[in-house]
Each structure stands twice: as structure tokens, then as C-alpha cells.
Amino acid sequence: MASASQRSLVVIGAGVFGASLARHCARAGWDVTLVEQVAPGHARAASGDESRLIRCAHGADEWHTRLARRAWELWREIDPRLVVPAGMAWLAHRVGGWEAESERTLRAAGIPCERVDGAGLFPSFAGGDIAFTLFEPEAGILRAREATRALARLAVEEGARLLLARARPDGSAVVLDGGQRLEADRVVWACGGWLPALFGDLVRVRVTQQDVFYFGAPAAWRTPGVPGWVDYDGAAYGLGDLDGRGVKVAPDVEGPEVDPETVERLPLAAHERQAREYLARRFPALADAPIVGTRTCQYELTPDTHFIVAPHPGHDGRVWLVGGTSGHGFKHGPAIAELLQSQLLGESPPEPRLGLEPREPDRGLRTAGAVIR
């Protein structure tokens, strides 16, 4: 088995997954080339929004719980300024649902959580339909676009080359739009919503339009102060006003299928209505708050919401595909990079749940209509 320092790696895609891997492997001594078609953290990449939630609760799923906990540690090592430890509130509609399962899993893993009064967390809160609120204090928000850019910059500082070009596969090699051909011991395609167009039926991923809304609100709504929150059964999530951007509300209902390359980045009226209605219902003081910003983004949904981190079947472990992060991947970026490096070296086997085999549609990390952040 060769060591990292004898290996070369080409990573295509400088979203959080590609940039995390490039940084991690460059630090470990790999000869790394990172290829990005636009710019790290650009507006059309899923990693290009201002903020992403980070939390360990994943229902009864211990594997993701531990992965998120490792990611929490890694993000803070990478740069504590990227992490806003505002905490996360889970608004549970049922006594025995996802949040109760999460609570058991978190406690078993030694990760702090407690039941709190939801009204104490928000300046205005209507929780008549809420059975209990589960609070994760060691959770919060990642400054996502800044983090993605930082990872790419750190990769370069560790010796990686960043090439701004569009790539396509040619066997196990990579061809750039200028004609340059790249070959390496390992090639990893971490292309987010662009992966299906590059690899067709090999990746069973649906790309859907998801819209995020920012509402103008008084200073009492600032995050930190106001935590991140997920209303799992209510299919919405958000946070307070981080860095003056406005209070964030995202309807968590699957939008229409889109092509990330060509879709107009304008929010759908139906999504705006869902966000406004949720805001008025849950946080009544903000019922008439104005929209001060929007983002149109994409989910890359696998049938069971588990990611794809898998060797391409045609290339004997030289080519790997990473994606299908199903609306909950950002937080895990650095932890997946750590795991994947050892798989690229052959030190650990591919994770079966992240493989390319056909998957049964499964509740997985979702409940009716909702995808968990």
C-alpha cells in the first residue's frame, strides 16, 4: 500500500466536498490538483449560500450522528470563525418521533442536548402545535460560502494547484475545456448537481430547485442569540439574522427538477408563499416582515437521501464519485474528506451505504415532504 506522499490526486469541483478533500489530501502530502469550472463557492454551487446548519441529531442514525460530531470538531480546527455556535432547536410535533429518537442517539453518543421551552429561544414564538423543543447547544451555523472559499484557499496554501476550467471524464483521465489532459493515481468527481450530466445513469440523483428567503427583522432576531431551528414535520428550517442578512426561512419541500447549469436563479412564487406562511404561523411578530434577499439553490437527491461516495465501477478504484448529498451534506464536508482519504489509500473499504448500487426509496433521513438539514 502506497503512502499519501507518493500519490497524485485530481479533484473536480470546488464545492465543500471537493475543496475539503483537496485540502485534507494536500496536507497529508498528496500531489493535488483541484479543478473548478467557475470559482469556489460560486452562486450556483450548493455550497455557495451564506449559511448552512450544523447539528448532530439524525434520528436513530448513529453513523451520521458521529460523522457530524467529527465534522463539528474539524470545522473548529479549520477556522473557528467559520462556525457560529448558536445552538440548534428541533421543534417536535410528536412525543415519539424523529426528535425523541435523536435525543436517545445523542445521549448514547455523549453529545449534549436538552428539552427547553421554545418560547425562551425566540423573540416571538407560537408553539401550540409543538410537543417539545429539543436543543443541541453544541451545534449552530456554518458560514458556508466563506468556508468553501477558505477550504479551497487552504488547499492551495498546502500545495494544491487550483485550475479554473470545465472538466469532462475520458476513461480514468480528465480533459479540461482548453484541451489539457490530467492523469493521476486517483481522480475524484465531486460535482454536486452537475454529476448526473457527467455520469448519466451511474448516479441516480434528482436535482431539484430549492429557494431560501431572508426577511428583515429587528436586532432581537440576531444569530447568535437566536439559534438555528428545524421544524422537521413542518418541512421548514432557518436561523436568525446572521451578519445582517435577515432572518432565514427555507421551505423544506422538494421543488421541481432543474438543470443547475441553466435554471434561472429566481425563487418560485409557491416557495415564497410557503416561507411567508410559515414565518407568520411560527414567529407571529414577523408576519409582515419584508423579504430582503433570496437564494435559489439545488438539492441533489438520492432515493434514500444517503450520499454517494463510491469508486466508479469501470476504473479499478482509480476514479471516485462523490455527490448526491440530498440537502444535508454541507456540515459533513471535512469529515467525509477524512474518511475518503483513507478509502483512496485502500486503508478502509468503501462505505456500503454510500455505494452506486440501486437504492430503494427510503424514508432515510427524511420524513413526509421534509429533507433534514
Ligand X SMILES: Cc1cc2nc3c(=O)[nH]c(=O)nc-3n(C[C@H](O)[C@H](O)[C@H](O)COP(=O)(O)OP(=O)(O)OC[C@H]3O[C@@H](n4cnc5c(N)ncnc54)[C@H](O)[C@@H]3O)c2cc1C
Least separation, in Å, of the C-beta of 103 and ligand X?
A: 20
User: Which range of residues in 46-54, 74-82, 215-223, 352-360 is near ligand X by CB under 6 A?
Assistant: 46-54
Out of 75, 194, 215, 221, the only residue in the binding site for ligand X (CB under 6 A) is 194
Please provide the size of the chain in residues: 373
Out of 28, 32, 46, 286, the only residue in the binding site for ligand X (CB under 6 A) is 46
Applying CB under 6 A, does 71 fall inside the site for ligand X? no
Per-residue binding string, ligand X, 212-231, x by CB under 6 A, is x-------------------
Cis amide linkage into residue 290, ω under 30° from 0: no
Cell 430549492, residue located: 210
Note the helical H segments in the chain: 16-27, 62-78, 98-108, 144-157, 195-199, 269-282, 333-344
Applying CB under 6 A, does 299 fall inside the site for ligand X? yes
Phi/psi of residue 228, nearest 5 degrees: -70, 155
Output the residue with the shortest Cβ distance to ligand X: 15
Listed residue (21, 12, 99, 38) closest to 332, CA to CA? 21
Per-residue binding string, ligand X, 232-271, x by CB under 6 A, is ------------------x---------------------
- 316 contact partners, CB below 8 Å, separation of at least 6: none
Out of 16, 25, 308, 356, the only residue in the binding site for ligand X (CB under 6 A) is 16
- 113 contact partners, CB below 8 Å, separation of at least 6: 57, 102, 103, 106, 107, 134, 135, 136, 137
Looking at residue 85, its amino acid is: P
Out of 37, 102, 133, 305, the only residue in the binding site for ligand X (CB under 6 A) is 37
* Total residues interacting with ligand X, rule: CB under 6 A: 39
Least separation, in Å, of the C-beta of 222 and ligand X?
A: 18
Applying CB under 6 A, does 190 fall inside the site for ligand X? yes
Out of 10, 35, 89, 155, the only residue in the binding site for ligand X (CB under 6 A) is 35
Applying CB under 6 A, does 191 fall inside the site for ligand X? yes
User: Which range of residues in 34-42, 77-85, 99-107, 116-124 is near ligand X by CB under 6 A?
Assistant: 34-42
Least separation, in Å, of the C-beta of 6 and ligand X?
A: 26
Applying CB under 6 A, does 339 fall inside the site for ligand X? no
Phi/psi of residue 170, nearest 5 degrees: -140, 95
Listed residue (341, 3, 289, 29) closest to 159, CA to CA? 29
What radius of gyration, in Å, describes the C-alpha atoms of the chain? 20
CA dihedral 363, 364, 365, 367 (to 10 degrees): 10
User: Which range of residues in 40-48, 59-67, 90-98, 115-123 is near ligand X by CB under 6 A?
Assistant: 40-48
Alpha-carbon distances of 236 from 122, 218, 242, rounded to whole Å: 16, 21, 18
Least separation, in Å, of the C-beta of 84 and ligand X?
A: 12
Applying CB under 6 A, does 18 fall inside the site for ligand X? yes
Applying CB under 6 A, does 310 fall inside the site for ligand X? no
The three grid cell numbers given for residue 256, joined into one nine-digit string: 421541481
Binding site for ligand X (CB under 6 A): 12-18, 35-38, 42, 45-47, 52-53, 166-167, 190-194, 198, 210, 212, 250, 297-299, 323, 325, 327-331, 373
